Amino acid sequence: MIRGGDRRVAYRVRDRTSEEPAILPRPLRLPLAAVAAALAAAVLAAWPAARAGARDAPAAAAPSCPTTAGAVDVTRATVPELRAALDAGTVTSRRLVETYLARIEALNRRGPGLHAVIAVAPDALAQADAADAARAAGAPQGPLAGIPVLLKDNLDTADLPTTAGAKAMLGPPPPADATITARLRAAGAVILGKANMSEWATSISPRAGLSFSDVGGRLRNPYDGGDTSGSSNGSAIAAAASLAALTIGTETQGSIVLPSFINSAVGIKPTMGLVSRGGVIPLVPAFDQPGPIARSVTDAALLLSLITGVDPRDPATRAQRGHVPAGGYERFLRRGALRGARIGVPPALARDPMGRVVGQRRIVSALRRLGATIVPIRGRLWVGTAPLEAIHGQFKRAVNRYLRERGPTSPRRSLADVVAYNRRHGREAVRYGQAFLVEAQAAGRRAQRTAGRRLARYAARARRAVERAMDRHRLDAILAPRLVAAVTATSGGLPHVTVPAGYAGRTPYGIVLVGRAWSEPRLIGYAYDFEQATRAWRSPAELNPAFAAACPAG
């Protein structure tokens, strides 16, 4: 999330991790069981974040970092291709899970030290075996039967702790799955484990930067070893490095678009209300929205279809009625979708690297070849940052509610308890301090009471800025700089899709397309057309020698 206020910006997203501290945390250990009373006392010593998968689920015997499972290349296969191989019997779910676990072991702590996975499920192989047995018995199969998925570690899982990367949150698992988790299980997915993330979704300390959590360690870009950006960075890294077939992220202001852009992944930030936030640790509910992160537009569209739906746990989802296409978003994966589309390009924001479209000339040329009309936008879409006092007020109120609703399984009862825990344990709990948490805890009753109204006004202003530009120029979508998508579009509750577009040396960049509310079908079609025509994505093993040494391309 990009934090700011009417008077200042608390910190700016960095483009290189060389500007951040490079100290790695000591390895921690993964819980082997979730017996609440015992785990609460022992969990800190029992959680191996950086070595997820080494002990709890044995990896394939050889090779040490496989690129294939059976005849399937897991670094390039789409989920429909994996599903076809499973149905044909050319690979088993167990073999798939073993393959991903072996890649996690080789790349997460070893090799390039990605630190993208914070924990693996102790029963991952048991889940896979159950899927294989059901398939062999001819039982009805869900669309993700036996397919491994990683969840960002702010989504509740009833069988794994949910920490948001914070040691203060280590403890028993939540009492129930998040709505997204439950829907994925119902679709047959193997919940492989949790993806690392920027601690508290970047709301811990400016000194920690955007690539660190005290539980999971410092995340690294799989391509250049540098910036990972945005709090869903573990999910984006895992998608690009093929540590799972699918991943889930969440966005508040940039936490899907930014890590997808810089880690060469596909990210969909949905319209506010399309995907439930039930059972997700909140940051700023006025802006929070979960979404898919995957290696391909095909997989991201399929995943979006499976996680949408009205949910009583999240009243905002009532707004999606009448806007979800029958038959899912896969229907809109169409070559030629860009033909005749009017795509707006706003002016760059001065002196801010995130305020321009990276590779604009090449991207615009590709869009024109695909039949799109490029329309320069008059006027800027930047609306400034949200009032910091309101962000702190809503964060405090929402986190307190989440911790209360966790009940006896909650490791802390309030944000005040979190801050107090961190103070007691010092650098062992928060290596780089907790300045943002302290600021949020200081938010008074008035700030909490008025936060919703103030942020709603800001969101409406952001939405109007995009919609007016689209109306004025008769646009179908906007080719947006990262900053416009992360702040203006996201704050306005509007959707955007990020797709790999190329590499500046070894550093990835993407194309970001923003649209009106509920325009996911159109954006997915445009993104797929661009992806299929440009074939820009490359494996990290092709660009990063450290990655290739640990896991050569197949």
| Percentage of residues of the chain with pLDDT beyond 90 | 84
Confidence of residue 203 (pLDDT cuts 50, 70, 90): confident
pLDDT for residue 47: 41
Q: Is 531 helix (H, G, I), strand (E, B) or coil?
A: helix
Catalytic site includes residue 491: no
Lowest-confidence range among 11-15, 366-370, 418-422, 548-552? 11-15
Q: Which residues face 511 on adjacent strands?
A: 499
- What span, in angstroms and rounded, lies between the C-alpha atoms of 349 and 331? 36
**Tell me, what's the pLDDT at 55?**
32
Would you say 211 and 20 are in contact if contact means Cβ atoms under 8 Å apart? yes
Strands 212-213, 217-218: pairing is: antiparallel
Tell me the C-alpha to C-alpha distance, in Å, between residue 273 and each of 85, 194, 449: 34, 24, 22
Of the listed 93, 235, 255, 539, which one is catalytic? 255
* 232 pLDDT higher than 90: yes
- Cα separation, 254 vs 287, in Å, equals 10
Half-sphere exposure (Cβ direction) of 19: Cα atoms closer than 13 Å: 12
Decide if 167 is catalytic: no
342-345 and 477-479 strand pairing: parallel
Instruction: Look at residues 288, 166, 204 and name the one whose alpha carbon lies nearest to residue 10.
Output: 204
Instruction: Establish whether 396 is a catalytic residue.
Output: no
Closest listed residue to residue 554, CA positions, set 111, 117, 103:
103
How far, in Å, CA of 484 to CA of 479, rounded? Answer: 10
- Which tens digits make up the pLDDT trace of 134-166? 999 999 999 999 999 999 999 999 999 999 999
Question: Whole-prediction pTM value?
Answer: 0.90
To which residue do tokens 């009205």 refer?
A: 310
Question: Which candidate in 198, 213, 231, 305 is catalytic?
Answer: 231
The active-site residue, picked from 152, 167, 269, 396, is 152
Token output for 251? 């966005």
Q: Cα separations (Å) of 380 from 208, 483, 488, 489, 493?
A: 31, 12, 11, 13, 18
- Stated as kind and residue range, the H or E segment containing 449 is helix 445-473
Closest CA to 343 of 321, 318, 366: 366
**Look-up: residue for tokens 């416009």?**
484
Average pLDDT of the chain to the nearest whole number: 89
